[in-house]
Amino acid sequence: MADNVYDASFIGYANCSLGDPTPGRRDFLEKLIAAIVPVVSGTSRVRWNNTLRIEYDRLIKEHRNDVVDQFFAMLTSGSAVFVARNRLRKHEDQDAEKCNWPYHDRHLIAAAVDGEDVTIHVTEERLGRCGASILRLFEIHVNHVEVVLPETRT
C-alpha cells in the first residue's frame, strides 16, 4: 500500500469550501482533494510525526469540508502510520542538504523515510524543485501542486 506525507500548507489550502466557482481555483482545489482522497478512502496510508501534527493543529482550527474532517479522523485511526522521528539521521540530513531541501521542512522527509512507495505532497515551489533529487537519494516522490490563490478585487 502506498504511503503519503502531507505538508501542513497542503492540508491548509485544501481546508476551504469546495464550491469555489473560479476555474483556476477550482482546478487547484481538485488537485489537492484528489491527493488526499486515497488516504481518507483507505486505498493508501498517511504517515505523520509529532511535528506535522503540531503544524496541522496550529494551522487548521476549524474543518471546512468533509475531506479535511476525514483526514483528521484518519490521523488517529489504526490505518495511519505514526512515525516517532521528527528529525533525520545524520547521513539523511546530509542527503537532504544536497537536495537543497530546507532545514525547517526536513520533518516531512523524516516522516516519509522507511515508508512504502511514499509521496510527500507540497504546495511550496522550493520543495517541488527538489523532487528529482529527493527521488534519487531517498526514493521518495514529491507531488508539488502549484498554489492558485483567489483573485482579489481592488
Please report the domains of the chain, with CATH numbers, ordered by start residue: 3-144 (3.40.50)
Q: What is the pLDDT of residues 55-70, one digit of tens each?
A: 999 999 999 999 999 9
Q: The pTM is what?
A: 0.94
Report residue 64 as a C-alpha cell: 471546512
Higher pLDDT, 17 or 42: 42
Q: What is the pLDDT of residues 27-53, one digit of tens each?
A: 899 999 999 999 999 999 999 999 999
pLDDT at 154 exceeding the cut of 60: no
Determine the pLDDT at residue 16. 87
Q: What is the pLDDT of residues 84-113, one digit of tens each?
A: 999 999 999 999 999 999 999 999 999 999
Determine the pLDDT at residue 21. 66
Determine the pLDDT at residue 150. 67
Bridge partner residues of 148 (DSSP)? none
